[in-house]
Amino acid sequence: MEEGLIDPHLVFQLLGPLVVMQWEKWGGIIKAIRENENIPENFSGFEYLADEMTKIRRERDYPEIAYGKPHKERPELGT
């Protein structure tokens, strides 16, 4: 995507929400590893992808990712 070879909107359709969800879950840990191990580029491509997918999600007014939060319609599921 950075080189303009793949349409970001196609990537979003394929796995955008999943990428955002995973970055929200692991991004803090990845950033801590970068700092602790002095590897500033660790997972930088994945962070870029998550940032781009987040932008598209907001442009499309896509619902917030509900990872780890109760589902609005079925709170008994606890997902």
Asked if the structure places residue 61 within a domain, the reply is: yes
Asked if the structure places residue 17 within a domain, the reply is: yes
Asked if the structure places residue 3 within a domain, the reply is: no
Tokens of 18: 């999943």
Number of domains in the chain: 1
Asked if the structure places residue 4 within a domain, the reply is: no
According to the model, what pLDDT value does residue 49 have?
96
| Residue 67 structural domain | 9-77
Asked if the structure places residue 1 within a domain, the reply is: no
Neighbour tally for 19: CB within 10 Å: 21
- Tell me the pTM: 0.76
The pLDDT-based confidence of 74 (bands split at 50, 70, 90) is low
- CA 78/CA 15 separation, integer angstroms: 23
Distance set, CA 9 to CA 1, 2, 15, 65, 73 (Å): 10, 13, 10, 17, 28
- pLDDT tens-place string over residues 13-70: 999 989 999 999 999 999 999 999 999 999 999 999 999 999 999 998 877 766 556 5
| C-beta of residue 58 within 8 angstroms of C-beta of residue 13 | no
